[in-house]
Structure 1
Amino acid sequence: MSTNKIIFGIVTAAVAGAVIGLLLAPEDSKKTIKKLKKKTNELAGDLIAALEKSKAKAADAADQLKKEGEAYADVAREQVGNI
């Protein structure tokens, strides 16, 4: 399972838990809505940060693969030139 799917699952579960907890809490609806908005914004920020981190890791991996591919291509060119 990919890291993004795990992060998405955790965030989704956290949001669902927060919503259920707040809806079942014996508080004024305005306070509940305010808490929901705050928690949603916090979780959205966490999700964005996690996605940006994953994006950076993917970009680094792509760069590394490109460098390795270029190195293999150079070796192959040398070997073909030596034939």
Structure 2
Amino acid sequence: KMKGFSLLAEPQEFWVDNSTSVSVPMLSGMGTFQHWSDVQDNFSVTQVPFTESACLLLIQPHYASDLDKVEGLTFQQNSLNWMKKLSPR
């Protein structure tokens, strides 16, 4: 169980792409997370800790139209470089 997070009572809508959504269980959590926003390539990275040695990196385009571009960047760039740029938010 992740400290500070709880499972939402009902499944929520998750958008797979601009026209497809699925209903999935989701967590809710509050706190200060490590975050970085790339204004040049229009995406943000948020680090969600699971344990002291494991985390989840959430990579989110600022605009839905940039999804393909951001997906490409995740394979072209080293995510460790992104993690070095994170700061509390």
Same fold (TM over 0.5): no
Q: TM-score range by the shorter chain?
A: under 0.3
TM-score by length of 1: 0.24
TM-score by length of 2: 0.23
Of structures 1 and 2, the larger Rg is shown by: 1
Larger relative contact order, structure 1 or 2 (CA cutoff 8 Å, min sep 6): 1
